[in-house]
Chains A and B, each alone.
Chain A
Amino acid sequence: MATLIRTTGDWDVAEEATSGAFERAAATWPRDGVPSNPGAWLTTAARNLALDRLRRRAVESGKVREWMSEEALAGRIGGPPDPAEIAAAHQELEWDDRLRLIFTCAHPALTIESRVALTLRTVGGLETSEIARAFFVAESTMAQRIVRAKRKIQHAGIPYRVPLPEALPARIDGVLAVLYLIANEGYVASSGDRLQRVDLALEAISLVRLVVDLLPDTAEPRSLLALMLMQHARAGSRVDADGELVPLEEQDRDRWDRALITEGLALLDPIPAVDRGPYRVQAEIQAVHVRAEAAEATDWAAIVHRYDELMAITEGASPFVELARAIAIGMATDADAGLAALAALESSARLSGYHLLPASQADFLRRSGRAEPAAARYREAIALAPTAPERRFLERRLAEVERSAAPRPDPGTPG
C-alpha cells in the first residue's frame, strides 16, 4: 500500500486497491492455489486495481490530475515483471516505505490525535473500528479524523519521504511521541474489557525498530525501544489465564520474557548525561524492575531518584509522573510517606477522576492495616476504573479489606 500511495499520490485509491487485492486473493487462492510469491502477486494485483480505478475515475470526471497519476502508474508496470525481481524490490521497499509512511503520518502539521490514528491505520494496518475502540471514540469520529488527516496530507502537500538529514532531529521527537502513545495504549488500555492490547504494543515495537534502524546511534529511539521491550517482556504475567490483572509484586517473574529483557538492557549502554532524555530515564526505571529477582528486592530508592530526574528534564511535570513517584516513595520508605505524597497530589486536583490515585491510596492504607479508609478509597477507584480487569481487581481487593474490617461473627449466631 505504501508503494501505491507513492505511485498514485492518492491515499484512498491505494487503500481501496490494497484491500481489493486481498479480496481477490481470498476468492482465487483457495481455487487456484497460493502463488509461489504471494507478496508480489498482491502488489501486482493492487497496482492493476489502482490503475483500473484511476482510469474509471478519469473517464467519469475528465480530471487531468488523475490522468497524470495513471500515466505514472502505467509507466511503472510496463514490461513483463520478473517475480524474483519484484520480491527483491518488495523486501527493500517494505522497509523504507514503512519508514516514509511513519514520517508522513507523524508530520507535525497534523494534530497529535490524527498522527496516532493515521499511523495505526496506514502503517499498522489496523481497522478504523479497532482504533476507535482503542481510543474510546465513536467509529464515525475516528473515521472523520482519518479522512481529515489524509485530506490534509494531499491538500497541504505533506511529502511522502524521510526528512533530509538536517531536518531529521527536529522531526524524530514527534515520531517517537506518536509511537510512545501507541505503546502506552498497548501497555494499559484506556478502556474496554482487556487490560492490555498486545497487538498495539507489538506494532509500536516494530515501528520504533524501524526508527532505530534509521538512526542507530541516536539515544532516544534506542531508549524508547528498550522501554517498550522491557514493558512488553512482562505482558504474559500481567494477566492470569482468565484475563484477570496480576499486580507487579504477585507476578511470576519466571514468566517474564528474558530475551526481550536482555535485548532491552543491552540498548541502555552508557551515554553522556546531556543525551539522557525522558525515554532513557523511563527505560532505566523499567530496568530496575526487571533486574529485581523478587518484588521485595526492587531498588525503590533508585526508582524515586529516576522519577526526580524525569520531572527535572520534562517541562511542566506530568501528574502521572508525580503519581508514579509518590508510589515509589511509599514503596521506598513506608506507607505513610506514600500517603503523604499522594495527599499532596490529590490536593492539587490535577488527577481528579483518575482511578489510580484512589487505588494507590487504598493500597497503602491496606498495607498499613487501615481497612475501613482503604475500603472507601477502593470504592472510589472502582467507580472510576476504565477497564473491566482493573475494576474486578479492585473489587477483589475491596472484598479482602471488607472481610478484615468486618467484626468477627458471633459464634452463637446461627448461619
Chain B
Amino acid sequence: MEYALFYAEGDEPIAYVPAQDDIGDWVDDLGRRGASEYGERLRPDHDATTVRVRDGRLLVTDGPFTESKESIGGFDIIDVADLDEAIEIASRHPAAAFGRVEVRPFMRWPDADPAARVVPADFLERTASGRRYLMLVVAESSERRAVIGDDGGSEAATAEDAAAAAAAPAEAAASDDPDAWVTEMDARGTRLFGEVLHGPDDATFVSRRQGELLVSDGPFAESKEWIAGFDLLEVRDLAEAIEVASKHPMASGGILELRPLWPFDVHDDHTARARREADERGVRLEPPAAEALDAAIGAAL
C-alpha cells in the first residue's frame, strides 16, 4: 500500500537538534527496503503561496493555509505492506522525535492498474526543466458536510448501511472532478504526478517521545481544513504556478497551497547545514504573491 508521510511540528514540538538528525540513515534504510518512491523537504511556510477563487475572483496570499504548527515541512511517498510498516517507518523519521508524522493512505481507484504507483517509475531519472512546487489540495469542512458518500447509492438495509450512507467520506470533497485539469496539465508537461488521499478520518499520527512510540487517530474532529491530495508541478515561476493552481476545480471550493521544494543532502553534516541555512530560513525567497499574480495576469493578456 502507498502512503504519504507529512512532517509537521504538531501540538507539542520539542527543539530540533541537528546533531541528532539521522535522516541519512533513514533514507538509506528506506532505499534498502525498496519502500521509497519520492520525498522532499519544503521551504518554510512563509514561502507558501495560497490560491483561491471566490465569487469568480482569484485571491492569492503569502503564507500557508493554516497556522504554522500544523504546516508541513516535508513529505515522503512510500510503498509498504500495510499501516503497521508505515507506522514503523514513520516512527524512525527524525521528525517523529521532535514533531510528528502524519500517515495518510492514498486513494486506491478500483479501475486503476494495480502495478501503477503514485510516482512514475522513471521519475527520479528525469532532469528538472523548471521550478518545482508541491501543490497541496486543501479541503474545507463545509465541503466535508456537503459531499455525498461513495456508497450512498446502495440500499440501506441495516442501521450500519444507513450510517455508511450518512457518514459521507471526506475524500469525496477532493473528487471535485479534477480530470479535465489533470488532462490539460499533463499535456502541458506541468503536472509531474499527483494523487488524492483518503480523508482525515483515515489518517494516523505518529511520534516518538522518550523512546516511546505514540500512535493516535489524529485530532481531526475539529479541524476545519485538511490536505485532500497533492500534485507536483514543474513550471517557469511562481506566476505560472498560480495560473495552474487557479484552474484547478478545488480553487473554488477549497484552497491550493503552493510550496517550493527545498532539497538538501541527507548525508550532510546537519549541524553545519543548519548553520549555513540559518540566514535563508527566516525570509521569504519567493516573490510576493500579489506581484506574482500581476505577472500571471500579464502573461494571460
Residues of chain A touching chain B, judged by Cβ–Cβ distance below 8 Å, are 61-66, 68, 107-111, 114, 128-129, 139-140, 143-144, 146-148, 151-152, 155-159, 163-164, 167, 170
Contacts and interface: CB of A to CB of B under 8 A. Distances in A.
A143 B82 CA distance: 26
20 contacts: A63-B111, A64-B110, A109-B204, A109-B216, A140-B159, A146-B163, A147-B160, A147-B163, A147-B164, A148-B201, A152-B202, A155-B202, A156-B203, A156-B204, A157-B1, A158-B82, A158-B83, A159-B81, A159-B84, A167-B84
A299 B202 CA distance: 50
Interface string B144-172: 00000000000000111011101101000
Given A108-B217, A147-B163, 7 more contacts: A140-B159, A143-B163, A146-B163, A151-B167, A156-B198, A156-B202, A159-B84
A68 B111 CA distance: 12
Contacts of A111: 217
B83 A159 contact: yes
A178 to B, nearest CB: 14
B284 to A, nearest CB: 36
Contact of B105 (A68, A108, A114, A157): A157
Contacts of B167: 144, 147-148, 151
B114 interface: yes
Given A140-B162, A143-B159, A144-B167, A159 B217 contact: no
Contacts of B87: 109
B164 to A, nearest CB: 5
Interface of B: 1, 3, 81-84, 86-88, 103, 105, 108, 110-112, 114, 158-160, 162-164, 166-167, 169, 198, 201-204, 213, 215-217
Nearest to A112: B217
Nearest to A160: B82
Main SS of the interface on chain B?
mixed
Across the A-B interface, the 5 shortest Cβ-Cβ residue pairs: A144-B163, A108-B215, A159-B82, A143-B163, A63-B110
Nearest to B164: A147
A67 B73 CA distance: 40
Contacts of B163: 140, 143-144, 146-147
Contacts of A163: 84
Nearest to A152: B202
A152 B215 CA distance: 15
B198 A65 contact: no
Contacts of A148: 167, 201
A159 to B, nearest CB: 4
Given A111-B217, A128-B159, A155-B202, A65 B110 contact: yes
Nearest to A60: B154
Contacts of B216: 108-109
Contacts of B114: 64, 68
Given A108-B215, A148-B167, A157-B1, A128 B160 contact: yes
Contacts of B84: 158-159, 163-164, 167
Contacts of A65: 108, 110
B83 A143 contact: no
Contacts of A156: 83, 103, 105, 198, 202-204
Given A109-B215, A151-B169, A157 B88 contact: no
B160 A143 contact: yes
Contacts of A143: 158-160, 162-163
Nearest to B202: A155
A195 B87 CA distance: 41
Contact of B160 (A108, A146, A157): A146
Given A108-B216, A144-B167, A64 B160 contact: no
Contacts of A107: 83
A64 B163 CA distance: 26
Contacts of A155: 105, 198, 202
A175 to B, nearest CB: 13
Contacts of A109: 83, 87, 204, 215-217
B148 to A, nearest CB: 15
Contact of A151 (B83, B86, B103, B201): B201
B209 to A, nearest CB: 13
B78 to A, nearest CB: 12
Contacts of A108: 215-217
